[in-house]
């Protein structure tokens, strides 16, 4: 769906929840709120509703910084990285679909020595590291892995332009954007109704 089509759908939704006889100038908010909603869905929507937009079949195909250190494989995440879609290495018992930040309550559990004792116990977490040029980037840390043995699967969710989001999320996206605009217009009850519709759309897709 094009950005103009998304804007039209959001306008219809906002008008639906605007009191009769009241008009609002909100065109300036449309683009930013639609994009903000797309980014939010990239962060929280069920993975199977999203498209892995960054696929690396093997180490040779990697176009981002990657290296082995001890039993770990470190990948500097691309700038538009949103979240892990799936990571797998040889000898892992199962793939990993969630990478944790150091702030996450399960972070230390993931790093636990016992869990890292066998190559079949996967560990994936996120950290921030300083790279060349004094910039900081997210680093995806994978362990326990064998040195010089490439991953079998590296799939990511990337932040996309709203118009490039999967069509299955169009209704959830436009209801979320409508909710954000209604909040800006200071009609919290209508904003909540729009947000509830957004949640309902997501729940319907998970059934």
Token pair belonging to 47: 């993975």
Distances (CA, A) of 172 to 6, 94, 112: 11, 31, 38
Distance, CA of 104 to CA of 11 (rounded, Å): 38
Question: Cα–chain-centroid distance for residue 133?
Answer: 27
Question: What is the distance between the alpha carbons of residues 196 and 187, in angstroms, rounded to a whole number?
Answer: 14
Q: What is the pLDDT along the chain (207 residues), one digit of tens a residue?
A: 899 999 999 999 998 888 766 667 788 889 999 999 999 999 999 999 999 876 554 455 555 578 888 889 998 888 889 999 999 999 888 888 988 877 788 777 766 665 656 778 888 998 888 766 657 788 899 988 988 888 888 899 999 999 999 999 999 999 999 999 999 988 899 999 999 999 999 988 765
Evaluate whether 64 touches 77 at the Cβ level (below 8 Å).
Answer: yes
Record the tokens describing residue 69, joined without a space. 């250190």
């Amino acid at each position: 769906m094009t950005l103009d089509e998304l804007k039209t759908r959001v306008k219809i939704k906002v008008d639906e929840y605007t009191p009769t006889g009241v008009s609002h100038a909100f065109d300036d908010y449309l683009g930013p709120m639609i994009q903000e909603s797309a980014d939010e869905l990239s962060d929280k929507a069920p993975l199977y509703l999203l498209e892995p937009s960054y696929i690396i079949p093997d180490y040779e195909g990697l176009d981002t910084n990657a290296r082995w250190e001890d039993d770990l494989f470190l990948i500097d995440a691309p700038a538009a990285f949103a979240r892990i879609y799936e990571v797998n290495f040889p000898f892992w018992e199962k793939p990993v679909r969630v990478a944790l930040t150091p702030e996450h309550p399960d972070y230390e559990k993931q790093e636990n020595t016992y869990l890292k004792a066998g190559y079949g116990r996967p560990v994936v977490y996120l950290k921030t590291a300083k790279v060349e040029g004094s910039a900081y980037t997210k680093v995806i840390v994978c362990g326990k892995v064998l040195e010089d043995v490439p991953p079998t699967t590296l799939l990511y969710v990337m932040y996309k332009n709203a118009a490039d989001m999967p069509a299955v999320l169009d209704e959830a996206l436009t209801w979320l954007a409508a909710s954000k605009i209604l909040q800006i217009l200071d009609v919290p009850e209508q904003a909540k109704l729009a947000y509830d519709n957004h949640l309902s759309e997501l729940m319907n897709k998970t059934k």
